[in-house]
Amino acid sequence: LFFPPSKMCAWRCSGRNNFDLAMQLKGNGIIKSPEVEAAFLATDRKHFCPKEMAKFAYDDRPIRHGHVHMSAPHMYASSLESLDLREGDKFLCVGSGSGYFCTLVGNIIGPTGINHGIEIFKDVVDFANEKRLSYKFIYDLPETDNSYSGKKSSPSNDSSSNGGEDGKEGRQELPSENARKILKHIARRQHPCVPQYITGNCFDLQPQHNIRYDRIYVAAGAPNSMCERLGEFLEIGGCLVGPFDDTLLKVTRRSSDSFSKEVKGHVRFAPLLKSLEEKEEEEEEE
């Protein structure tokens, strides 16, 4: 769940298909830039869902099945906007999961970028690689206001999910002209920056043995002490976005030894695991 500082509630932007989901996120002001809009239009969330959870693919809710966790779409959209990605960026996702977020990123940074994900569970890395290999670019969009009739969603405190059917009938959002241009650009280059996933533990990474990244996304809750540790993997001027002690932070590396922090909201995330043994202990307690 994501709680913007100005409104302590979860956004409800469910759709009936991927296009509708993207337009609900845009209509509710969560997607702001044409780059993020185009990435969501081009990347079908259902493709990255475990088949047992496919019916919830376009609901604005987290998905969890086995070791595969996916945040709610509004969380990913907000984080993408905060990351301010650019074509050619070097990107790292800590806790890369199903690969959905990395694929969204890949559509923005393009084939000249670097797109890395680290994930502690091998079965999840296998799942993400399978989805990566079968990923298909989407470019089938309505051209006029009359070509698609959808429902408008609105913010709500309701934590249940119903696919957006409690939304009010209204004029459906359509892609911006800039987003259409970006999609055409993505289509011309034929593929995004293809993600590369490794099985590993982010707590074991050593900055001196790794490349520096322009952008990092942390996909699970981390202690505040991890901010600057992960920040050591950033280029100067680079930033990371992630949940630290239930606060969504944007951390920017200003120099070799200084960082600035910006609060983006308040969140609830499952914690990063320090070891597989920690996960086994949690499952035994459940």
Catalytic residues: 71
Residue of 101, 131, 127 whose CA lies nearest to 116: 101
Triad 195, 130, 134: Cα angle to 5°: 80
> What token pair was written down for 116?
């890395």
Quickly tell me which residue has 């199903």 as its tokens: 98
For residue 231, how many other CB atoms are within 10 A of its CB?
20
Total residues found in the chain within this entry: 286
Dist CA 178 CA 188 (whole Å): 15
